[in-house]
Structure 1
Amino acid sequence: MLHQVNLLPWRDEIRAQHKKRFINLVVLGTLVAVIAQWMVGNYFHEQKSHQQARLNYLQQYIAQLDTQIQSLKVAEEEHKSILTRLDVVESLQSGRNKTTEFMNLMPNLVPEGVYVDKIKMNGQEIEMSGISDSTARLATMLDNLERSDSLSDVEMHSIVHNKKRFNKEFQTFKVSFMFTPLSLQNPIESDATTVRQSLTEMQSIWQEQYISKVTSQLELIASQEVLNG
């Protein structure tokens, strides 16, 4: 019985095939690793660019808000300045009207025989001094002061008898009270008050609109952030 013997270098051929297969696997693995690394790097780069774009948008929007806030502060300062000027106008108008109303009220308060020498007004407080030819007339004046709807806190500080004036003997007196004009007790809306109310209403409406706009913009940004993940 004859046996066939393979004298070819088959082991070398198998070794060469294994080596070639190994090299192919190494090359393929390297390519896969490079491609995977490139894809991951590209993904992170895109994410970074996207985040940077959103950050830039937020920074621009914040800058716009800062500008609007500065404009709002300027408007508020102008509003305060206008209100201050209105306060001055109202104060001057009130003082002028108060003096006129008090002088118109005087004939009803001071009876005949009482003579007023001096009137001092300090805000709503009024000090009045003068002379009278009898105690009864002073009592009548004091009663008139206390009955007046425009006066309060009436106080007689001093009565000095037997003071000679104009070659006659008089009684000097000093009285004080608080004066509140009827126009202030029942105020009629003035032009300054109307302007003040209009300015206040306009400022409130503007602030509400501004806050609503900012809130809607922030909600829109938040919804975009949620959608973009």
Structure 2
Amino acid sequence: MANINLLPWREERRQELKQAFLVVLGVVAGFGAVLVLLADMAVSGAIENQNSRNAYLKQQISELDQQVKEIQELEKKKNELLDRMKVIQELQGNRPIIVRIFDEMVKTLPDGVFYSELKRTNNGIQLKGIAESNNRISSLMRRVDKSDWFADPNLTAVKAMPNYGEQASEFNLSFNISTPAIEESEE
């Protein structure tokens, strides 16, 4: 039988397969490295993109916060102006009332009664005066009580004043201001 040595051929074949395997392994490793590099670049790009979006949103939020502060300041100024306007309107509305009160005081003043002091506090008036007699003080109280603009007359003190006359008296009278209904004041 003939002796054939196949070992060198097998050895060469193994070397070729080993080299092919190493080449394929190198290509796969290179391809894997490229894929990892591309994935890293994609993730880094996505992170950078998200960071830029976050920065943009923070900038917009800070601008909106500034606008909200400006709006709150404007609202505060608006409320202050409205309060001022309300006070001015109330003062303008009350101007004719003062005139009517003085007019009504003249109408309710009977002959022989003189006011020496007048003091207004909120919705009340306190009077000091001198009357020729106690009947004149009673007449004054009746007129104040009948008035549409005055209510609740209260005589707090009556003191004789002989140096102004035999029956002369000094008196203290207080009453409240009551605004008549709109229909009554228009008539």
What's the TM-score, normalizing by structure 1? 0.66
Supply the AA of the counterpart residue of 2:126: E
| Bigger Rg over Cα | 2
1:7 and 1:38, CA in 2 relative to 1: closer, same or farther beyond 3 A? closer
Q: What residue is the counterpart of 1:109 in the other structure?
A: 108
Structure 1, residues 117-170: CA drift from partner, whole Å, max 9, x if none?
Answer: 21111232211111223333322322332333333443222122x312434431
Structure 1, residues 176-201: CA drift from partner, whole Å, max 9, x if none?
Answer: 2222445xx64xxxxxxxxxxxxxxx
Q: Within 5 Å, give how 1:89-168 maps onto structure 2.
A: 89-90=88-89, 92-93=91-92, 96-160=95-159, 162-168=160-166
1:163 and 1:20, CA in 2 relative to 1: closer, same or farther beyond 3 A? same
| Stretches of structure 1 lacking an aligned partner (at least 5 in a row) | 187-229
Q: What residue is the counterpart of 2:170 in the other structure?
A: 172
8 Å contact kept, 1:157–1:176? yes
Distance, in Å, in 2 between the alignment partners of 1:143 and 1:73 is 56
Aligned length: 182
Distance, in Å, in 2 between the alignment partners of 1:67 and 1:32 is 52
Q: What residue is the counterpart of 2:185 in the other structure?
A: none
Distance, in Å, in 2 between the alignment partners of 1:164 and 1:91 is 46
Identity of aligned residues (%): 23
Moved over 4 A (4+): none
Q: RMSD value over aligned CA atoms?
A: 2.7
Distance, in Å, in 2 between the alignment partners of 1:159 and 1:51 is 91
Distance, in Å, in 2 between the alignment partners of 1:75 and 1:114 is 57
Supply the AA of the counterpart residue of 1:53: S
State the shift of 1:6 in Å.
3.3
8 Å contact kept, 1:113–1:132? yes
The yes-or-no answer on 1:68 pairing with 2:30 is no
